[in-house]
Amino acid sequence: MSETVTILGLESSCDDTAASVVRHVAGVPAEILSSVVFDQHALHADFGGVVPEIAARAHAERLDICVEAALKEASLCLTQVDAIAVTSGPGLIGGVLSGVMCAKGLAAGAGKPLISVNHLAGHALTPRMTDDAVFPYLMLLVSGGHCQFLIVHAADRFTRLGGTIDDAPGEAFDKTAKLLGLGNPGGPLVEREAIKGDAARFKLPRPLLDRAGCDMSFSGLKTALRRARDLIVDEKGGLTVQDRADLCAGFQAAVAETLVEKTRRACLAFMDQTNATTPMLAVAGGVAANTAIRAGLQELCKVQGFDFLAPPLKYCTDNAAMIAWVGVEKYRAGDFSSMAMAARPRWPLDQAAKPMLGSGKKGAKA
């Protein structure tokens, strides 16, 4: 096994163009030499969601600048990296293609090996990069595009315990913000309002809690919130500041409670299916930034006897360091890709799990 591995990673599967250099010396925690992220919020702001065409074009225009910035920040040139790792799915296909073409060009030009990375594996293996996490552990991935529970057995072996059958929670937060006239991205704004609100005023549903297992649903919650809002508007002609805060608090409490209960079931399934002696729950995704949700999960872990790990937020949300890290793991395993490697819009981590019914607006098909 090579002592030191240095990988350039590229990410462009949704609305963040990112490049990063990660170095790993065997037996020592990873060193993130650079992690550059160009977000596209401004480009999509007028459309109420990510426009795949605009995203793909922006990735194509920015990837090489992003790579240059990442190499510069790492004080390296392309010839000094061992391989180029790139997200080749799942995601919005135009963006994924932009990244894959860029990576192939760099690999061919510099004569470096190419490594194909599953975006979800990037999230799932982040605790190994940031905290040297030991297999197996339980991962809850909650973002604007994804929501699933995974047992991470090894760098290339995952069991999907369940996930959303329709919207991702971040998407529901964003839609709630839109319904209530707040801005974008909605999660932090809904959270800010919720602090001032009374979560008990509106009785919003806790979807799928009556069904066994870890699957979740968030689209009905959004409809219930819309109804509650419309009732007030019909009655009073509009929302007061307090109405809005109470709706946000009620919505956030419903999401938190649902996530915590489903996580409890995932913890039990994890214990059933592994022989972990020090079980751990790790989170990833933007929604994991929510204080109420995080506190609920932390409390649950205490009760279940699980360690709780939330990597720094910049590595929980979309970034290329996590892609470079999977590159490190695959490099050490000798798992390289050919120049014929294809971009994949759908690419579940657990090939044996039954396909989910729905998908998030951001296009994660996993």
Least distance to Zn ion, CB of residue 19, Å: 16
Distance CA 140, CA 281 (A): 7
Contact by Cβ (8 Å): 40, 362: no
Give the shortest CB-101-to-Zn ion separation in angstroms: 20
Q: Which does 191 bind (CB under 5 to 8 A by kind): ligand KG4, Zn ion, none?
A: ligand KG4
Task: Return left, alpha or beta for 271; rule: phi > 0 is left, psi -120 to 50 is alpha, else beta.
Answer: alpha
Binding residue (CB under 6 A) for ligand KG4 from 38, 137, 158, 173: 173
Residue nearest to ligand KG4 (CB): 187
Q: What is the largest CA-CA distance in the chain?
A: 69
d(CA 217, CA 176) in angstroms, rounded, equals 15
Nearer to ligand KG4, 191 or 215 (CB): 191
Of 88, 94, 73, 58, which Cα lies nearest the Cα of 23? 73
Which positions from 266 through 295 interact with ligand KG4, judged by CB under 6 A? 285-287, 289-290
Closer to Zn ion at the Cβ: 162 or 285? Answer: 285
Judged by beta carbon, residue 170 or residue 327, the one nearer ligand KG4 is 170
User: Of ligand KG4, Zn ion, none, which one does residue 345 interact with (CB within 5 to 8 Å by kind)?
Assistant: none
Cβ distance to ligand KG4 smaller for residue 106 or 182? 182
Q: Min. distance of Cβ 339 from Zn ion in angstroms? A: 26
Smallest distance, Zn ion to C-beta of residue 22, A = 17
With CB under 6 A as the contact rule, which of the stretches 184-192, 274-282, 301-309, 343-351 interacts with ligand KG4?
A: 184-192
Between 99 and 144, name the residue whose CB sits nearer to ligand KG4. Answer: 144
Q: Closer CB to ligand KG4, residue 195 or residue 233?
A: 195
- Reference 319, options 84, 14, 31, 35; nearest CA is 35
Q: Considering only residues 73, 178, 188, 265, which one is a binding residue for ligand KG4 as defined by CB under 6 A? A: 188
Asked if 318 interacts with Zn ion (CB under 5 A), we say: yes
Of 156-164, 249-257, 310-318, 319-327, the window that binds Zn ion (rule: CB under 5 A) is: 310-318
From the CB of 11, what's the least distance to Zn ion, in Å? 8
For residues 193 and 318, which CB has a smaller minimum distance to Zn ion in the complex? 318
Residue 220 makes contact with ligand KG4 by CB under 6 A = no
Q: Which does 329 bind (CB under 5 to 8 A by kind): ligand KG4, Zn ion, none?
A: none
One residue of 163, 186, 207, 296 binding ligand KG4 per CB under 6 A: 186
Q: How far is CA 115 from the centre of its chain?
A: 20
9 to 28: interface string for ligand KG4, x by CB under 6 A: -----x--------------
Among 174, 215, 246, 329, binds ligand KG4 (CB under 6 A): 174
Residues in contact with Zn ion by the rule CB under 5 A? 318
Binding site for ligand KG4 (CB under 6 A): 14, 143-145, 170-171, 173-174, 185-188, 191, 285-287, 289-290, 317-318, 362
